[in-house]
Amino acid sequence: MPPRKIIIDTDPGQDDAVAILLALSSPEDMEVLGITAVAGNVPLELTQKNARIVCELAGKTDVPVFAGCDRPLGRQLVTAEHVHGKTGLDGPSLPDPTMPMQDQHAVDFIIETLRREDAGTVTLCVLGPLTNIATAFEKAPDVIERVQQIVLMGGAYFEVGNITPTAEFNIYVDPEAAEITFKSGVDIVVMPLDVTHKALVTQPRNDAFRDLGTPSGIAVAQMTDFFERFDKEKYGSNGAPLHDPCVTAYLIAPELFSGRRINVEIETRSDLTRGMTVADWWGVTDRPANATFIGDLDADGFFALLVERIGRL
Ligand code: BDR
Ligand code: CA
């Protein structure tokens, strides 16, 4: 099979960085047409810069990086420096990027790429709030049916929420954008907290990254060292969850993941449960399925894949 053409939409973020490194080290599985930055973990000014820092860390300076929306569709931006640090990529000390930002707006790049490439051949890998995607769909509805698949990190059912008692961060930040995406009719695969909280970087797993001895391996170990403190304190877990790499790993090895095809709706109106992913896991409604909601993964297989691929950089 030829590599899948993908656009990575992202708000780096240490776990976004690992997801991008996995994609950039896997050319036989995916061709990264571009990376589009969105405001999320930190403001856009930093996420677009961080995306370029990660490309340079991987030695892939030819991947075009675009800046997108700097705020959610209809709300104030909420950020997560309490998890990711002031820069969004706290942990390693990485140089400022020298590769250029593209002039084109990320939303226009997404639209133009979907129109240019054959219909059904471009997958959107979404690692942050869905603002860029929903904006593209609103601006150019003709591109919706041209998307091959959206694989996104967001939401939760059994784990309920991380930013509020009932909402996961990416969906909470821009629930209106999430609603547009989930109602779009595109084939969607969701990596919710239910699965990403099982992708924990335990000490031996982090040592395996560090022991690669390469700039990327060491940086991944330092990044997870930094942001694991948050989850250890909050959940008493064994290490940091690598949320976003579940998205790019799924494109390489879907057999590592299992889930159900179900209906998922987004709560946008309630102040109390804003951004909740109302996932009909038990099939108690007759609402039509609109997403594959992943619930479990082979964590050892996932980490073996990450170490093998990132070790190539
Ligand atoms: C998601 O929010 C961000 O903090 C992470 O990068 C991930 O995309 C987890 O809720
Ligand atoms: Ca992210």
Q: Which atom of ligand 1 is nearest to the CA of 163?
A: 10
- Domain boundaries 4-192+243-294, corresponding CATH code: 3.90.245.10
How would you class 205 by CB atoms within 10 Å of its CB: exposed for 0-12, middle for 13-18, buried for 19 or more? buried
- Distance between Cα 184 and ligand 1 center (Å): 22
Q: What is the pLDDT of residues 59-80, one digit of tens each?
A: 999 999 999 999 999 999 999 9
- Distance between Cα 62 and ligand 2 center (Å): 22
Residue 273: φ, ψ to 5°: -120, 25
Q: What is the pLDDT of residues 175-230, one digit of tens each?
A: 999 999 999 999 999 999 999 999 999 989 999 999 999 999 999 999 998 877 66
Spans of all domains in the chain = 4-192+243-294
> What pLDDT is recorded for position 240?
86
Q: Which atom of ligand 1 is nearest to the CA of 128?
A: 8
Residue 235 token pair: 């959940």
243 counts as catalytic: yes
pLDDT above 90 for 15: yes
Helices (H), the chain: 14-24, 44-57, 81-84, 106-116, 131-139, 169-173, 175-182, 193-196, 203-210, 215-235, 245-252, 299-310
Ligand 1 lining (C-beta closer than 6 Å):
13, 15-16, 41, 80, 83, 127-128, 153, 162, 168-170, 243-244
Q: Which atom of ligand 1 is nearest to the CA of 169?
A: 10
- Look up the pTM and report it: 0.96
Q: Give the chain's mean pLDDT.
A: 96
